Amino acid sequence: MENFVYEYPTKVLFGKGAAKEHLGKALGAYGPHVMLAYGGGSIRRNGIYDEIMEILRAADKTVTEFCGIMSNPTYTKVQEGAMLVREKKIDLILAVGGGSVIDCCKVVAAQAVLEEDIWDMELVRHRLPMVPPIPMGAVVTASGTGAEMNGGAVITHEEKKIKTGIFAAAPHFAVLDPEYTMSVPFSQVISGAFDTLSHAMETYFGRADRDNVSDDIAEAVMRSTIRNMRFLLQNPGDYTARSNLMWDSAMAENGILKCGRVTDFQAHQIEHQLGAYTDCSHGQGLAVLHPHLYRVMCEKAPEKFARFAANVWGISGEGRTEQELAAAGVEALAEFIVKCGLPVRLRDLRMKEEPEKLLTDSMLREISDSCNLIQTGQAQLTHEELFEILVKSL
C-alpha cells in the first residue's frame, strides 16, 4: 500500500430524528450568528426548513439566509455567499441540502476569510489556504455525493467554462437523517446513488500495487449500493435501503476507500467539463459516460475489471477468458443503468439548452480537450480517446 495519513474531521449525527436529537447541542459550540444556506426552496415545502429554524431559534441563534444555490454551484454564487458572511459576521455556516449546497458553502467558508481569490490561489498559483475557514455544518437532505465527508468541493466557473475541484473546508458536523430524503424526486435519489457507485468505482480503478484492504471495502460499498438501489426500485419508501445508501455515500467519500492507494476519477473529469458546458445533472452524466469509458479501459486493464465482474456483479469466470470476464462486468454495469431508468445517451440529459444545439462536434472537442487526463488509473487515455467516448455517448 501507499503511505498515508488518515484523519476524519467530521462528526456524523446519523439516523431518524438526528436533527431534533443532536443539532441543538452541536450548535452550542458556535457563536450567535448562523448563516442558513439552501437551494431552490424545496426545504420550505417539505417541512425541513421549519424544523431547522425551530432548532436554531431554540438555540438563540440569529439567522441570515443564503438561498438559491443551484445544482451546479457557480463561482459567482460563492463570492455572493462570502460577502454575506463578512457583512453579517457569521460564526457558523449551516448548509441544508445536497452536495451542491454543501460544496458551495465549503468554498464560501474558505473564501470569506481570505484577502485573495481562492480560485487563483489554488488553480493558478497552486497554493492552499492557510487561514482557518469559517466553521460549517451540514444537514444532508439528498445523499449521494458524500460532500459532507471531506473538504473538497466542485465549483463551476462560468466565464472560464471550467468545473473543477477546490480544497476548501470540511464540515465540523453532518446530520444524516434518511427520512429527509423521502421528499426528494425519485429520479434524483437514483442519480445520487449512482454518484456514490461512481465514487467507489473511480477509487477502485485507480492504480494499486496489488489487491488491498481498501479495495475489499470498496467492493463491499459497491455491492451495497447496487443492492439497495434495487430495493428502492421495488419500494421507493424503503427506509432501510435509504439509510444504507446514505451511509454508502459517506463511506465512498470519507477517505477510507482511498487509504494506501491512488485513484482514477477520469469519468468525473469528463463529466465535470460536460457539466461546465451544458449544466447537466452530475449523476446522470456519469451514468451515461461510465460504460463507454470502461469499455475502452477494460481492454487495456482486463485484470482489475475481471475482478470487478466477479466480486461486485457475481459473474462467473468459468468458460470465459480474463478479457471476456472483464467485458461482462462492464456490460452488467450498463444493464443496471438501464434498469435504474437512468439516461444512457448524452441527448437524454436535461441541459441548459436543447442538446442538439450544444452537443456539436466542435463543443465535444472543446470538452474533451479541456479535460484533465488522469495518469493514475488502470489505463491512461488521450484527449482523442475522450473525444471518441463523448461521440459514442451521444
Whichever domain contains 135, its CATH number is 3.40.50.1970
Map grid coordinates 450544444 to a residue: 358
Task: Read off the CATH number of the domain in which 289 is found.
Answer: 1.20.1090.10
Assess if residue 57 is contained within a domain. yes
Asked if residue 223 and residue 343 are part of one domain, the reply reads: yes
**Which of 144, 159, 181 corresponds to the end of one domain?**
181
For residue range 50-76, what is the model confidence (pLDDT) as tens digits?
999 999 999 999 999 999 999 999 999
Asked if residue 138 and residue 201 are part of one domain, the reply reads: no
CA distances from 361 to 3, 98, 368 (A): 43, 33, 10
For residue range 21-46, what is the model confidence (pLDDT) as tens digits?
999 999 999 999 999 999 988 999 99
Assess if residue 18 is contained within a domain. yes
Assess if residue 21 is contained within a domain. yes
Asked if residue 176 and residue 194 are part of one domain, the reply reads: no
For residue range 336-348, what is the model confidence (pLDDT) as tens digits?
999 999 999 999 9
**Which of 147, 181, 215 corresponds to the end of one domain?**
181
pLDDT at 212: 87
Assess if residue 303 is contained within a domain. yes
pLDDT at 41: 85
Assess if residue 216 is contained within a domain. yes
Asked if residue 102 and residue 149 are part of one domain, the reply reads: yes
Asked if residue 356 and residue 230 are part of one domain, the reply reads: yes
Asked if residue 199 and residue 174 are part of one domain, the reply reads: no
Burial of 391 from C-beta contacts in 10 A (0-12 / 13-18 / 19+): middle
Asked if residue 213 and residue 146 are part of one domain, the reply reads: no
Assess if residue 102 is contained within a domain. yes
Assess if residue 141 is contained within a domain. yes
Contact 16, 153 (CB under 8 A): no
Q: How far apart are CA 244 and CA 196, in angstroms?
A: 12
Asked if residue 176 and residue 204 are part of one domain, the reply reads: no
The total number of structural domains in the chain stands at 2
pLDDT at 162: 95
Asked if residue 206 and residue 276 are part of one domain, the reply reads: yes
Give the containing element (helix H, strand E) for 293.
helix 282-300
Supply the range of the domain harboring residue 261. 189-393
For residue range 297-311, what is the model confidence (pLDDT) as tens digits?
999 999 999 999 999
In which residue ranges of the chain is pLDDT below 70? 209
Asked if residue 201 and residue 101 are part of one domain, the reply reads: no
Assigned C-alpha cell, 319 = 468458460
Assess if residue 2 is contained within a domain. no
pLDDT at 215: 94
Asked if residue 203 and residue 114 are part of one domain, the reply reads: no
pLDDT at 209: 66
60: number of CA atoms within 13 Å, CB side? 5
**Which of 161, 181, 201 corresponds to the end of one domain?**
181
Asked if residue 144 and residue 199 are part of one domain, the reply reads: no
Map grid coordinates 454564487 to a residue: 77
Buried b or exposed e, range 3-17, using 16+ CB within 10 angstroms: eeeeeeebebbbeee
